[in-house]
Amino acid sequence: MKKLKWSVGLVIVTLPILSVAVFLTARFYGRPINEYSVVAEVNRMPMAVNELKMFMRNHQAEVSNYYVEQYKANIDKDFWQTKFNGEMPLATLRQKALADGVTLKIKRGIAVKLGLIEDSSYKAFIDSLNKENERRAEIKAKGGILYGPGKFSENAYFAYQLANIEQDSKFKLGNGELKATEEDLRSYYELKKDELYKRSDYIKVRSFSISFTDGNGNRDESAYKKAEDVAKKAKAKTDSGGDFEKIASEYGSDLKLQIKIEDMVFDEKTRKVDIKVNRGRLLDQAQKLLPNQVSDVFDDGRDFYVLKFLERRDGGYKSFEEVSADDNDLKNRYLDMKYKEYVTRLVNEADIEINNRVYDRVQLSQ
């Protein structure tokens, strides 16, 4: 067995080990290997073969892609146990799965400490899965209302249970060990305000648009080519100092094109509406414009556009008070961050023992 201290932040082929001691123990020998066999212990909490396999499946595609890209490997029956410059895909896969398994055990250990679950073991998880499926089958048999699947698969129940454990752990820790003070929240607000609480800038542009759809809103190929040509001329002439109105009067009536010129504003007030009315493409282009600049020709599937910069003002930030009153958004985000830090610290401090007799034999069906 190998005993080690953990460190998060695995690269794909390296499992950080700060101290290693190899020794044997009677606890693991003399037992047949099955889905419940212990591959490792995390702070004395056992990790079962099936738990490691679940995470191995999660990383299978990622690891395969790495070796294909890095070494031009062929995915054949020998792939997982072939060494590439000293690296073996199966070993990499186990390492990454083990890292996830350690984090899982830490999260379940937190839940045990908080009284949310009684046991962190894989057997306890399977017992809980079976009880939940029996409960659902009984509800279904009685014609009751059932939310979610009629029967959970192991993977689905794992995700369901873990999400509940994390949510309930955050709630309890947020009212206890990780409870935020106003100073904590203000510090978090300052840390994240550029990323999360920046208001949209006020942007004003003049839009020159030409429709290329027919009366039923379908694309008209003939109109498309004419519209694209006029839009390109509008771009070229505007770059040379011309204005949209002259171009519209010059080409609109002759070609019977639906040309529209309007001033458009994008700001914090229009942000949600922009998404709903499919102005996202327009907003993207408007945000790129510098003073006096004219956009390239682009289309949104219905119209060709050319945009001309008119004005831009900084949108500023939502205030701390405004954010604090926004349905606990600030507190929840802060707690998410602190919970991740809390888990990471416990992972880094964890005592991990690997049962090599089992660990080295775990592989997925090829």
- Return all residues near 182 (Cβ < 8 A) that are at least 6 apart: none
Q: Domain for residue 324, yes or no? A: no
Given a cut of 50, whether residue 17 has pLDDT beyond it is: no
Range of the domain at 85: 2-177+336-359
For residues 304 and 225, the answer to whether their CB atoms sit within 8 Å is no
- Burial status of residue 228 (CB atoms within 10 A of its CB: 0-12, 13-18, 19 or more): middle
Lowest pLDDT segment from 176-180, 218-222, 314-318: 218-222
Residue closest to 258 by CA, chosen among 199, 217, 314: 217
* Helix pair 154-174, 89-113: axis angle to 10 deg: 50
Lowest pLDDT segment from 75-79, 241-245, 349-353: 241-245
Check whether residue 139 and residue 235 sit in a common domain.
Answer: no
Residue 292, amino acid: N
Q: Domain for residue 183, yes or no? A: no
User: What's the pLDDT score for residue 14?
Assistant: 35
Q: Domain for residue 352, yes or no? A: yes
Q: Domain for residue 133, yes or no? A: yes
> How large is the average pLDDT for residues 252-276?
82
Give the whole-angstrom CA distance, residue 354 versus residue 76: 29
Check whether residue 32 and residue 133 sit in a common domain.
Answer: yes
Check whether residue 220 and residue 77 sit in a common domain.
Answer: no
The distance of Cα 309 from the centroid of its chain, to the nearest Å, equals 34
Check whether residue 217 and residue 118 sit in a common domain.
Answer: no
Given a cut of 70, whether residue 308 has pLDDT beyond it is: yes
Check whether residue 164 and residue 227 sit in a common domain.
Answer: no
Burial 316-355 (b: 16+ CB within 10 A, else e): ebbebeebbeeeeebbebbbeebbeebbeebbeebebbbb
> How large is the average pLDDT for residues 88-108?
97
Confidence band of 252 (pLDDT split at 50, 70, 90): low
Confidence band of 97 (pLDDT split at 50, 70, 90): very high
Coil, helix or strand for 349?
A: helix
Check whether residue 71 and residue 143 sit in a common domain.
Answer: yes
Check whether residue 162 and residue 209 sit in a common domain.
Answer: no
> How large is the average pLDDT for residues 257-268?
91
User: What's the pLDDT score for residue 246?
Assistant: 84
Check whether residue 143 and residue 222 sit in a common domain.
Answer: no
Confidence band of 253 (pLDDT split at 50, 70, 90): low
Check whether residue 112 and residue 217 sit in a common domain.
Answer: no
Residue closest to 287 by CA, chosen among 260, 315, 262, 326: 315
Q: Give the count of domains, the chain.
A: 2
- Burial status of residue 313 (CB atoms within 10 A of its CB: 0-12, 13-18, 19 or more): exposed
User: What's the pLDDT score for residue 6?
Assistant: 45
Q: Domain for residue 251, yes or no? A: yes
Q: Average per-residue pLDDT in the chain?
A: 88
Q: Per residue in 309-344, pLDDT tens?
A: 999 999 999 999 999 887 688 999 999 999 999 999
Confidence band of 88 (pLDDT split at 50, 70, 90): very high
Given a cut of 90, whether residue 279 has pLDDT beyond it is: no
Q: What is the CATH number of the domain that holds 235?
A: 3.10.50
Q: Domain for residue 190, yes or no? A: no
User: What's the pLDDT score for residue 276?
Assistant: 67
Check whether residue 21 and residue 155 sit in a common domain.
Answer: yes
Q: Domain for residue 248, yes or no? A: yes
Confidence band of 46 (pLDDT split at 50, 70, 90): very high
Give the whole-angstrom CA distance, residue 6 versus residue 31: 27
Torsion sign across C-alpha atoms 105, 108, 114, 115:
negative
Check whether residue 263 and residue 343 sit in a common domain.
Answer: no
Check whether residue 208 and residue 172 sit in a common domain.
Answer: no
Confidence band of 31 (pLDDT split at 50, 70, 90): low
For residues 333 and 195, the answer to whether their CB atoms sit within 8 Å is no
Q: Domain for residue 11, yes or no? A: yes
Given a cut of 80, whether residue 23 has pLDDT beyond it is: no
